[in-house]
């Protein structure tokens, strides 16, 4: 099991234990959207329950047509025949890596599963640093250098994975960076897999979204899903869009899909086709979710900043990636894993260490997910979704205050301890 998943499970277990003891907890580890299913989508799934037949490996024509429409509305010509559905975008990513074969470049830091899936294939991921302040995309010059080095050592490199907007940093790479990354990918003949699962949760939807298809349409594969924008992670549905120039890869991906998962749940596909068609209530729900994520992520970012951390301004999704370097001395820890463990053991604050995302162990960065603060019941969560001031709701305000308290106490107590030790 990967470091990150073990860490998440350990955090969840420790939090459950503290809850049972009546101790305070702050669940900031797990990347779940934390919102109820939209009622019209519930009804759609119920209506589709009679679909018991296997259906096409690549997904039903309805779903693929709806997903093509979804991409069309985002300025991307998409051919339903070049779309492949899967039980989540995670299996699609794995299927793509397997179908492409060869070495995989992943940004440092990046979502835990890119590296873990690469290792499942028996390879070591090639980590390349992201430019300062921009997550999800490798620095173009560093990409060139790393791939050249690998190839010089006789190791094939065939693709890179990018995340727009990014998990864990909550940021979006600049168009200029994406353009230069795409140029490097073309020079190096790398396929670009662009994970855009957080795209609809980019806070400013008027931002110039730097889709790699703009610069390297011939080599860009896009994956997305309904897990984040519509909080349907548990339904397990994702789609991949391949370029015409890679229709052979589309067939290989379908081949891998047929041998690993056969087809995607028929009822879920039918409900997903409805969602990808974006009727008004779906658009509205995504917009409300985006506002809520933005408000709470920004409010939490302020608390971390006030506590002395440097926090890249969150631009999408529901993650923060604060850096505690300036607090290294008062905190008295050497690694992000130690910091995460300290927060969990002493305060019941569940976060993930940056090292789980491939970051250097000694970098004091943490991934903080703010989406499980919206409430413990669906009623609270729906209230948060429609509130003009969600950060002011008692249960969310309490979580924000608790965060400030914890860091005040942590830096103070760590100082005292150190004084005691060194006195």
**Choice between 70 and 261, CB closer to its own copies:** 261
> In the complex with its own copies, which residue's Cβ is closer, 28 or 216?
28
Tell me which residues touch its own copies (CB under 8 A): 1-2, 5, 32, 35-37, 41-43, 45-47, 49-55, 57, 87-88, 90-91, 94, 98, 113, 116-117, 120, 122, 230-236, 251-252, 254-256, 258-268, 271
Of the pair 6, 413, the CB lying nearest its own copies is at: 6
Residue with Cβ nearer its own copies (271 or 400): 271
Nearest to its own copies of 224, 263 (CB atom) = 263
**Omega before 109 cis (within 30°)?**
yes
Measured between alpha carbons, how far is 376 from 19 in angstroms, rounded to an integer? Answer: 12
Q: Collect all residues with Cβ–Cβ distance below 8 Å to 44 and sequence separation of at least 6.
A: 270, 271, 274, 275
- Minimum distance of its own copies from residue 179's CB (angstroms): 32
Sheet (strand 191-195) strand order:
83-86, 238-241, 220-225, 191-195, 157-163, 103-108, 126-129
Q: Tell me how far, at minimum, the Cβ of 252 lies from its own copies, in Å.
A: 8
The answer to whether residues 19 and 26 touch, using CB atoms and an 8 Å cutoff, is: no
CB of 6 to its own copies, least distance (A): 9
Shortest distance, position 259 Cβ to its own copies, whole Å: 5
Beta carbon of residue 324, minimum distance to its own copies (angstroms, whole number): 28
Q: How far is the CB of 169 from its own copies (least distance, A)?
A: 21
d(CA 123, CA 320): 29
Instruction: Name the DSSP letter for residue 202.
Output: B
- Give the dihedral of Cα atoms 323, 325, 328, 329; nearest 10 deg: -140
Select 232 or 301, whichever has its Cβ closest to its own copies.
232
State which residue, 268 or 411, has the beta carbon closest to its own copies. 268
CB of 274 to its own copies, least distance (A): 12
Cα–Cα–Cα angle for 78, 39, 286, rounded to 5 degrees:
45
């Amino acid at each position: 099991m990967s470091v990150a998943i073990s860490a998440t499970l350990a955090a969840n277990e420790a939090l459950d234990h503290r809850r049972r003891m009546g101790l305070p907890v702050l669940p900031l580890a797990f990347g779940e959207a934390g919102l109820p299913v939209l009622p019209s989508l519930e009804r759609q799934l119920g209506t589709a329950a009679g679909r018991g037949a296997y259906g096409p490996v690549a997904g039903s024509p309805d779903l693929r047509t709806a997903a093509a429409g979804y991409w069309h509305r985002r300025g991307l010509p998409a051919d339903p025949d070049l779309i492949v559905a899967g039980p989540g975008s995670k299996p699609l990513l794995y299927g793509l890596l397997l179908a492409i074969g060869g070495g995989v470049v992943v940004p440092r830091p990046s979502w835990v599963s890119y590296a873990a899936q690469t290792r499942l294939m028996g390879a070591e991921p090639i980590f390349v640093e992201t430019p300062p302040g921009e997550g999800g995309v490798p620095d173009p010059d560093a990409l060139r250098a790393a791939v050249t080095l690998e190839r010089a050592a006789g190791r094939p490199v065939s693709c890179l994975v990018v995340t727009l907007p990014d998990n864990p940093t909550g940021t979006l790479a600049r168009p200029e960076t994406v353009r230069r990354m795409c140029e490097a990918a073309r020079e190096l003949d790398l396929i670009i897999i662009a994970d855009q699962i957080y795209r609809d949760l980019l806070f400013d939807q008027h931002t110039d979204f730097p889709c790699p298809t703009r610069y390297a349409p011939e080599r860009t594969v896009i994956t997305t899903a309904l897990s984040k924008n519509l909080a349907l992670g548990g339904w397990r549905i994702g789609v991949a869009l391949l370029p015409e120039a890679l229709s052979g890869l589309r067939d290989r991906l379908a081949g891998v899909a047929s041998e690993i998962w056969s087809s995607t749940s028929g009822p879920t596909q039918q409900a997903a086709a409805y969602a990808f068609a974006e009727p008004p209530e779906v658009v509205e729900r995504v917009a409300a979710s985006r506002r809520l994520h933005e408000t709470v992520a920004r409010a939490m970012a302020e608390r971390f900043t006030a506590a002395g951390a440097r926090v890249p301004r969150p631009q999408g999704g529901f993650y923060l990636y604060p850096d505690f370097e300036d607090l290294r001395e008062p905190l008295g820890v050497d690694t992000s894993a130690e910091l995460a463990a300290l927060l969990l053991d002493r305060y019941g604050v569940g976060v993930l260490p940056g090292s789980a995302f491939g970051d250097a162990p000694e970098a004091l960065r943490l991934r903080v997910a703010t989406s499980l603060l919206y409430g413990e019941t669906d009623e609270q969560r729906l209230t948060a979704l429609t509130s003009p001031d969600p950060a002011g709701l008692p249960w969310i305000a309490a979580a924000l205050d608790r965060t400030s308290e914890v860091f005040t106490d942590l830096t103070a107590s760590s100082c005292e301890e150190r004084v005691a030790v060194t006195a």
